[in-house]
Amino acid sequence: MRALLFSTALLAIGTAPAAADTTQPDPSNWDAVLEDARGETVYFNAWGGSQNINDYIGWAGDELKERFGVTLKHVKLEDTASAVATVVAEKAAGRDGNGTVDLIWINGENFAAMKEQGLILSPGWAEKLPNWTFVDVENKPTIRTDFTVPVEGLESPWGMAKLVFFYDTARIKVEDLPRDTDGLLKWAQENPGRFSYPQPPDFIGSSFLKQVLAEKIDDPSLLLDPVDEERFAEVTKPLFDFLDGLNPVMWRSGRAYPQNYPAMKQLLADSELDIIFAFNPAEASSAIANGELPDTVRSFTFPGGTLANTHFLTIPYNASAKAGALVAANFLMSPEAQARKQDPAIWGDPTVLALDKLNEEDRARFDAIDLGAATLRPDELGPALDEPHPSWMERIETEWKRRYGVGN
Amino acid sequence: MFERKRDLTDAGLFIDGVTIALEGREIVSLTKRVAPGEVLTVMGPSGAGKSTLLAYVGGFLDPVFSARGRVFVAGTEVTALKPEDRHVGVLFQDPLLFPHMSVGGNLMFALPEAVRGRAARVERVAHALEGVGLAGLEARDPATLSGGQKSRVALARVLASTPRALLLDEPFSKLDAELRAQTRELVFSKARESGLPVLLVTHDAADAEAAGGDIVRIGE
Amino acid sequence: MLTRLGPMLAIGLLTAPVAFGLAGTVLPAFGYLPALGGMEFGLAPFATLFAEPAILMSALMSLVTGLVTAAISLTAVMLFTAAWGGTRLFARIQHLISPLLSLPHAASAFALAFLIAPSGMIARLISPELTGWERPPDLLIVHDPLGLSMMAGLIVKEIPFLLLVTLAALPQVKPARMRALIASMGYGRISGFVLGLWPSIYPQIRLPVFAVIAFATSVVDVAAILGPTTPAPLAVRLVNWMNDPDLSMRFLASAGAVLQLGVTAAAILIWIGFEKIGARLRDRVACAGRRLRRDSGLRWGALAAMLVSAGAIFAGLLALGLWSVAGLWQYPDLLPARFDLRNWMRVLPSLVEPLAITLFVAFISTLVAVVIAILCFVREDEMGYPPGRGALALLYMPLLVPQVAFLFGLQLLFILTGVQATMAALVFAHLVFVLPYAYLSLKDPWRAFDRRYDQIAAGLGKGPVERFFQIRLPMLARPLLAVAAIGFSVSVGLYLPTLLIGAGRLTTITTEAVALASGGNRRVIGIYAFMQMVLPAAGFAVATIVPALIFRRYRDMHV
């Protein structure tokens, strides 16, 4: 996938920039948008590492084609940063229209980077989409603030995420579960080789590092501000001390790491790992439904709180199919699409909508979903820790690479 | 069925000053006329180069040899012509029937285009097979024939193409004594019947004797 | 006239892409790439390269992998041929191993991974009864830091290849007679072969051995599936740099590709050094007249090596097949608890497009390659002499230059001329690799064709075109289809060309499969690997069945 994005970036430089299509579709005039969107092809750049999600996006594509005449093409990424880099390259080459990226699955540092460099369709459009009225802005603050960065309608919410841990009850007793990251370290020392995290800069792996930092930092308010380079070493010492302690008792003694979440999931199924984690609370139920994990798997979180965030969809300023992208973003935010997404048999990703804002029929869709025995109810998920400022993530990843891995 | 040249001096095979050499060493040097129906026998020990003369007449001499001289077939000079334009049929030691065609198919392949219409062609093939005593074998797989039968089919095939001369490259040497005599007789009689000049390469004196024509010795 | 095109196209296809590709790689390595603002020559990219963490380690690992893979594969083949050549067992093993030639490298790497991983089939077989392992051991087998798994993955594929080329070279040395002669002097089977026959065989297979070294030092797909990750072998890191959307990485990647060229060249030079040492050693042993008759241990060892390498792949492929239809399958179960065809149903929609592209590209590139090869051979017939040894080396060019080095430049060329990620460009890229195989496998059957059939047909008045289509082509149908099947399987198995030239827009079964490797989703990998296995097999099935069907009435057309 990086190949595609890279070469289109280079192509952008190699060819004269086409006449910039700067007509901005106005979401308030939705009929006009629908009309413009008909016949367009939307290149949706989204992480492609999970078959469930790919299937869901495939379904969405079929619906978009049938209902709105929009063709959705899923460009499978290994890392969202590639899509961002492509838009950066296109802007640098002066390609202000006819971009190759129409819709990006995004949040956190990638969103911050795009917003800062003016790469997003402006002015804010997300709150003008028809389905915005159903969104739960009151109870889900991360919808309006993405990793401390104000969203300002530049990205539309797609799903909720909370860091949740999974384990196999056949192998671990509930009483022995760790209750925070220190507990996790102690558990790992007692059970060496049974825990790992995906190799950064994988999103889940990096999030684990953030979780540890959020718990162990002396002054959490520092995380809300950009990284202070001078104090970085001092402030992150607890994190890296933790990792130094964890490394020798990790799976494969830290000499190799699973590359992403699906790989971790397979390791749990193989009994190589005993505790894994993901951002989707329904992940375990989903895996059980697909026969990937045994039905003895259950979830748990830390009573002190785990990271929570929202993930979004955004549209680059130079997208070729802006109207189509708006229609797609709106559809993915619709009650029907959100309900289907939340079904663990399909994907299990929690909704961004407020159930009490929906009509009878749509509410029923959600009520009918069987979250599965392995999924914690929303009130069991525990407190939410705020995500740090995006700059922390990049800095920690770089430091991690320097110390532990020679990954790319 | 076969054209006969009225002018007898032009008919037949005329080998005019043909010299074939390998790396400067001369192997063959010959001027000879072969009348229609007659056989010129080329004899010599193995490796002497007898087949080179035949190859030169047929148009498929290996480029390692250098050759000059003219060849006329039925009054037409063929020296510069491609093999397929020379109307010179060839029979090798092995019958070399095309394995992916039936007996009838082999013969049909050989029939000139001038014979038009399926009925006419089928009839010609049947006639040709009769002529060599193999009537009714059109549908057979060549692999199922005996050695003698294969040789006769090969003969019928080459005759079916209405050549103006025949080149025989030791065609009888793989047959046992009795078969050899029979086949030899058949070939020569057919050639006489059709008025074809024949160039025969052999190391068997009996062949030469049966041929009854002039003998050229090479490499002795 | 048309036939003159043959050699011209062949030479063009074999040299031009490599030459242009190398230029497109080497120039940016020294800082020159106007499209990106690199206007001056300099060594800055190399400085960046050597500042990369553990870069020399990566390079060294690639070097060692290449040499060890070639050495072990060649030794295994040599000993096996020495010990068992000419026996019925040999023929049986040969038939066992031949199908592995058509298996893409990636599929065999997956097969091995599923076998040797701590939670793989071998562990499940012996646990928990023999080992007491209730859970998989915490052993770093797949992705081990020394690259041993990766080498194993390469060796199991190179053994069949080297066996094939050795067998092709064998008849020329009159093995039966020579063996009898050497045995009569009192030498043991192995020592007699190694000292008496091998020296005549080896020069004929030298180029293929170099090709193995080149491939092993720069392989990407097998390294991604089995190789170390901290650090990864050089070629893997290069490909990541090449595809990084950050365009300034392009210079770094080019410098890395030049380093890769150096590594491959160094490996080949070191190998040549080994050749010389080996020759000296052999001379001393031969002169000393050491008979070395007690070699039964080595003989059985060689057989075991062959059986193990072939058996490993077959077992692994079986495991892949099981995973593709597996429901829940936990360690240490030997069989899945439940079977589930839903896996196939779910993957099928996303399989269709890569499959279509795989088939199309393989078909077209093979067709063109075979046509060019035929034109070359027809031209040779016309000219009356076969091309010299220089031409043979030319054929091996795309196989000797590391793919990663010249494909990189070729990709740049395609991008700048706007044909990147087009079907035509992809077919062209595949053609470059299929052509050598097409030519080399057609050579012997073509030359073995009895010319006299042509002469007879000419005597019957048939022109060259008619002779070709009515006589030569039908009679060569079986070998031609076999050549096509070989070309087809080569194209199906190509990874890097599709990755770089297809640029993610055009994907094949192989590129999709390798992309899925990191996800560890064994069911999906099983399905893709199964497809990788089926496609070449189908090609060979067609190549066997079609002529049998068409010529069923003619006994001499059967094998």
* DSSP secondary structure, A115-173, as one string: HHTT-B-SS--GGGSGGGGGB-TTT-GGGTEETTEE-TTSEEEEEEEE-EEEEETTTS-
Asked if residue A284 is part of any domain, the answer here is yes
For residues C440 and C370, give the distance between their C-alpha atoms in angstroms, rounded to a whole number.
11
Which residue would you say has higher pLDDT here, B2 or A39? A39
- pLDDT confidence tier of residue A15, bands split at 50, 70 and 90: very low
Position A79 scores a pLDDT of 80
CB C324 within 8 A of CB C344: yes
Beta-carbon contacts of residue C492 (< 8 Å; ≥ 6 apart): C104, C358, C362, C508, C509, C510, C532, C535, C536, C539
Q: Is A386 helix (H, G, I), strand (E, B) or coil?
A: coil
Asked if residue C45 is part of any domain, the answer here is no
pLDDT over threshold 70, residue A11: no
**C474-520 pLDDT, tens digit each:** 999 999 999 999 999 999 999 999 988 887 778 899 998 888 887 77
Q: Cβ of C184 under 8 Å from any chain B Cβ?
A: no
What pairs with residue B165 in β-bridges? B88
CB A271 within 8 A of CB A209: no
**Summary mean pLDDT of chain B:** 87
Nearest to C204 by CA among C164, C177, C154: C164
**Percentage of chain C lying above the pLDDT 70 cut:** 99
CATH number of the domain that A271 lies in? 3.40.190.10
Domain count, chain C: 2
**Summary mean pLDDT of chain A:** 87
Question: What tokens appear for C338 in the block?
Answer: 């439940």
3-state secondary structure A162-190: ECEEEEECCCCCHHHCCCCHHHHHHHHHH
CATH number of the domain that C88 lies in? 1.10.3720.10
Same domain, yes or no: C260 and C146: yes
Asked if residue C337 is part of any domain, the answer here is no
Question: What tokens appear for C418 in the block?
Answer: 């706007």
Q: Is A275 helix (H, G, I), strand (E, B) or coil?
A: strand
Q: Which residues of C touch B85 (CB under 8 A)?
A: 461
Domain count, chain A: 2
**Chains with ≥3 Cβ pairs under 8 A against B?**
C
Asked if residue C517 is part of any domain, the answer here is yes
CB C33 within 8 A of CB C415: no
Report, as an integer, the average pLDDT of A380-404.
85
Asked if residue B15 is part of any domain, the answer here is yes
Same domain, yes or no: A248 and A397: yes
Out of C301, C329, C357, pick the residue that ends a domain: C329
Q: Which residues of A touch C354 (CB under 8 A)?
A: none
Asked if residue C34 is part of any domain, the answer here is no
Same domain, yes or no: A295 and A324: no
Report the amino acid identity of residue A392. Answer: W
Same domain, yes or no: C359 and C323: no
Please tell me the least confidently modeled range out of C84-93, C299-308, C531-540. Answer: C84-93
Same domain, yes or no: A214 and A224: yes
The whole-angstrom distance between C369's CA and the closest CA on chain B is: 26
Asked if residue A247 is part of any domain, the answer here is yes
**C258-317 pLDDT, tens digit each:** 999 999 999 999 999 999 999 998 888 888 877 777 878 888 999 999 999 999 999 999
Q: Which residues of C touch A6 (CB under 8 A)?
A: 242-245, 247, 503
Same domain, yes or no: A357 and A332: yes
Asked if residue B209 is part of any domain, the answer here is yes
**C396-418 pLDDT, tens digit each:** 888 899 998 888 888 878 877 77
Asked if residue A12 is part of any domain, the answer here is no
Asked if residue B135 is part of any domain, the answer here is no
Asked if residue A98 is part of any domain, the answer here is yes
Asked if residue A258 is part of any domain, the answer here is yes
C interface test, pick of B84, B93, B102 with most C CB neighbours within 10 Å:
B84
Out of C298, C329, C360, pick the residue that ends a domain: C329
For residues B103 and A205, give the distance between their C-alpha atoms in angstroms, rounded to a whole number.
76
Q: CA A225, A230, A233, A235: dihedral to nearest 10 degrees?
A: -40
Beta-carbon contacts of residue A165 (< 8 Å; ≥ 6 apart): A177, A275, A276, A277, A299, A300, A301, A302
Report, as an integer, the average pLDDT of B31-56.
87
Give the position of tokens 């050693």: C281
Position C367 scores a pLDDT of 96
Give the position of tokens 């380079």: A229
Q: Cβ of C379 under 8 Å from any chain A Cβ?
A: no
CB C228 within 8 A of CB C150: yes
CA distances from C437 to C14, C209, C395, C458 (A): 12, 15, 9, 31
The whole-angstrom distance between C438's CA and the closest CA on chain A is: 29
Position A406 scores a pLDDT of 58
The DSSP symbol for A250 reads S
Cis bond leading into A226, ω under 30°? Answer: no
> What is the residue range of A334's domain?
20-160+309-375
Question: What tokens appear for C26 in the block?
Answer: 């080497």
Please tell me the least confidently modeled range out of A47-61, A82-96, B20-34. Answer: A82-96
Same domain, yes or no: A123 and A87: yes
**C187-217 pLDDT, tens digit each:** 888 888 888 889 889 998 999 999 999 999 9
For residues B23 and B12, give the distance between their C-alpha atoms in angstroms, rounded to a whole number.
31
Secondary-structure percent of chain B, ordered helix, strand, coil, rounded to 5? 35, 25, 40
**C93-135 pLDDT, tens digit each:** 888 888 888 899 999 999 999 999 888 888 888 877 777 777 7
Position A407 scores a pLDDT of 46
For residues C17 and C63, give the distance between their C-alpha atoms in angstroms, rounded to a whole number.
25
Q: Cβ of C268 under 8 Å from any chain A Cβ?
A: no
Same domain, yes or no: A195 and A216: yes
Taking one residue from B and the other from C, the number of pairs with CB-CB distance under 8 angstroms is 84
For residues A205 and A197, give the distance between their C-alpha atoms in angstroms, rounded to a whole number.
5
Same domain, yes or no: C481 and C558: yes
**A275-278 and A164-168 as β-strands: parallel, antiparallel, unpaired?**
antiparallel
CATH number of the domain that B58 lies in? 3.40.50.300
HSE-CB of A122 using CA atoms within 13 angstroms: 9
> What is the residue range of B66's domain?
2-99+163-217
CB C528 within 8 A of CB C493: no
* DSSP letter string, B21-50: EETTEEEEEEEEEE-TT-EEEEE--TTSSH
pLDDT over threshold 60, residue A403: yes
Cis bond leading into A201, ω under 30°? Answer: yes
Q: Is A335 helix (H, G, I), strand (E, B) or coil?
A: helix
Question: What tokens appear for A273 in the block?
Answer: 């790992």
**C155-198 pLDDT, tens digit each:** 999 999 999 999 888 888 888 888 888 888 888 888 888 888 89
Report the amino acid identity of residue B215. Answer: I
Question: What tokens appear for B151 in the block?
Answer: 């040789």
For residues A135 and A143, give the distance between their C-alpha atoms in angstroms, rounded to a whole number.
9
Helices (H), C170-248: 175-184, 189-192, 198-218, 221-226, 234-242
Position A324 scores a pLDDT of 94
Same domain, yes or no: A170 and A48: no
Same domain, yes or no: A284 and A337: no
3-state secondary structure C258-301: HHHHHHHHHHHHHHHHHHHHHHHHHHHHHHHCCCCCCCHHHHHH
Asked if residue A119 is part of any domain, the answer here is yes
Asked if residue C48 is part of any domain, the answer here is no
The DSSP symbol for C229 reads S
**Summary mean pLDDT of chain C:** 88
Using CB atoms, which residue from B58, B98, B112 is nearest to C459? B58
Q: Is C193 helix (H, G, I), strand (E, B) or coil?
A: helix
Contacts with A, C 462-501, CB within 8 Å: 499-500
Q: Which residues of A touch C36 (CB under 8 A)?
A: 10, 13
**A149-150 and A164-168 as β-strands: parallel, antiparallel, unpaired?**
unpaired
Return the residue of B nearest to C547 by Cα. B100
**C420-455 pLDDT, tens digit each:** 778 999 999 999 999 999 998 998 899 889 989 999
> What is the residue range of C104's domain?
56-329
Report the amino acid identity of residue B48. Answer: A
| C-beta neighbour count of C559 within 10 angstroms | 6
Same domain, yes or no: A250 and A398: yes
- pLDDT confidence tier of residue A7, bands split at 50, 70 and 90: low
Beta-carbon contacts of residue C84 (< 8 Å; ≥ 6 apart): C90, C93, C299, C302, C303
Asked if residue C245 is part of any domain, the answer here is yes
For residues C309 and C306, give the distance between their C-alpha atoms in angstroms, rounded to a whole number.
5
Give the position of tokens 């109207």: A323
- pLDDT confidence tier of residue A45, bands split at 50, 70 and 90: very high
- pLDDT confidence tier of residue A198, bands split at 50, 70 and 90: very high
Which residue would you say has higher pLDDT here, A64 or B47? A64
Asked if C459 and B163 come within 8 Å (Cβ–Cβ), the reply is yes
Q: Which residues of C touch B96 (CB under 8 A)?
A: 450, 452-453, 456
pLDDT over threshold 80, residue A148: yes
Asked if A251 and C420 come within 8 Å (Cβ–Cβ), the reply is no
- pLDDT confidence tier of residue A16, bands split at 50, 70 and 90: very low
Position A18 scores a pLDDT of 42
Asked if C230 and A11 come within 8 Å (Cβ–Cβ), the reply is no
Position C364 scores a pLDDT of 97
Helices (H), B113-199: 118-131, 147-160, 177-194
Same domain, yes or no: A347 and A252: no
What pairs with residue A43 in β-bridges? A73
Report, as an integer, the average pLDDT of B81-99.
90
Using CB atoms, which residue from B82, B99, B167 is nearest to C475? B99
Same domain, yes or no: A317 and A247: no
Same domain, yes or no: A203 and A242: yes
- pLDDT confidence tier of residue B2, bands split at 50, 70 and 90: low
For residues B134 and B148, give the distance between their C-alpha atoms in angstroms, rounded to a whole number.
11
Domain count, chain B: 1
- pLDDT confidence tier of residue A13, bands split at 50, 70 and 90: very low
Beta-carbon contacts of residue C495 (< 8 Å; ≥ 6 apart): C104, C105, C106, C220, C221, C510, C511, C514
Same domain, yes or no: C14 and C62: no
B interface test, pick of C385, C450, C455, C460 with most B CB neighbours within 10 Å:
C460
**Percentage of chain C lying above the pLDDT 90 cut:** 42
What pTM did the predictor assign? 0.84
Asked if residue C51 is part of any domain, the answer here is no
Nearest to A114 by CA among A136, A90, A133: A90
Asked if residue C527 is part of any domain, the answer here is yes
Asked if residue A92 is part of any domain, the answer here is yes
**Percentage of chain B lying above the pLDDT 70 cut:** 95
Beta-carbon contacts of residue B147 (< 8 Å; ≥ 6 apart): B95, B174, B175, B179
Return the residue of A nearest to C332 by Cα. A270
Using CB atoms, which residue from A7, A50, A252 is nearest to C421? A7
CB A148 within 8 A of CB A108: no
Return the residue of A nearest to C224 by Cα. A259
